[in-house]
Amino acid sequence: MEITRTTTAMLDALHDPANAEIWDAFDRRYRSILIGFARNLGLNEQDSADIAQETLVRFVKEYREGRYDRERGRLGAWLVGIARFRILDHRRRKGGGAELIDEAIAAKLDDERHLTQIWENERRHAILQVAMRELRETSRTDPRTIEMFEMLMVHGLTPQSVAEHHGVTTHDVYLAKSRVAQGLRKIVDRIQAEYDDG
């Protein structure tokens, strides 16, 4: 069962080392964001998954030691900092102790604004994925209507292509887009509030 909590409530619950359920919920919320973050910084899928795991483990350890101060910054910024150092360590290990030379990636790792933008993009993507899953599983929206929306908005097909594929008019495609967007917006707003940094 998915735990639905604000980030603040989740952080408070993480103080209990025996609360495996809340750790799982935190993991579900942030692992995919961290993987996408690392991928955007040039790592492959496996290395990105390793960075995400190392970041989450380090986060829980430091958080339980009381090293996170909400007054000094948002949770996202703290996770970005941990992930950044994990990526730098990874590059050193891969380079046999010496920094791998890739000036473009090195510049990205030194640019806080760029790192924050990558994080926010991945966060929005994760929220949209959760919202789409919830829309499919809990709403009364016709699966065909959702499919038309995804073909149009996610896969970038033209309204004409979507209409031909489903044997409907382009007007029907636009109606499907409007219906799904309206339902999705409500779900995204609620999930966004849950993801807000505590």
| Residue 55 sits in the same domain as residue 104 | yes
Q: Which residues contact residue 128 at a Cβ distance below 8 angstroms, ignoring those fewer than 6 apart?
A: 188
| Residue 26 sits in the same domain as residue 78 | yes
pLDDT tens by residue, the chain, 198 residues? 344 567 778 888 888 878 888 888 889 999 999 999 999 988 999 999 999 999 999 998 888 888 887 777 788 888 999 999 999 888 777 765 444 545 556 666 767 888 999 999 999 999 999 999 999 999 899 999 999 999 999 899 999 999 999 999 999 999 999 999 999 999 999 898 887 754
Helix (H/G/I), strand (E/B), else coil: 89: helix
| Residue 53 sits in the same domain as residue 64 | yes
**Domain housing 195:** 140-198
| Residue 93 sits in the same domain as residue 18 | yes
**Last residue within a domain, chosen from 111, 138, 165:** 138
Distance of alpha carbon 155 from alpha carbon 127, whole angstroms = 18
| Residue 158 sits in the same domain as residue 130 | no
In this structure, what CATH number is given to the domain that contains residue 183?
1.10.10
| Residue 48 sits in the same domain as residue 111 | yes
Report which DSSP code applies to 99. Answer: P
Helix (H/G/I), strand (E/B), else coil: 154: coil
pTM over cut 0.75: yes
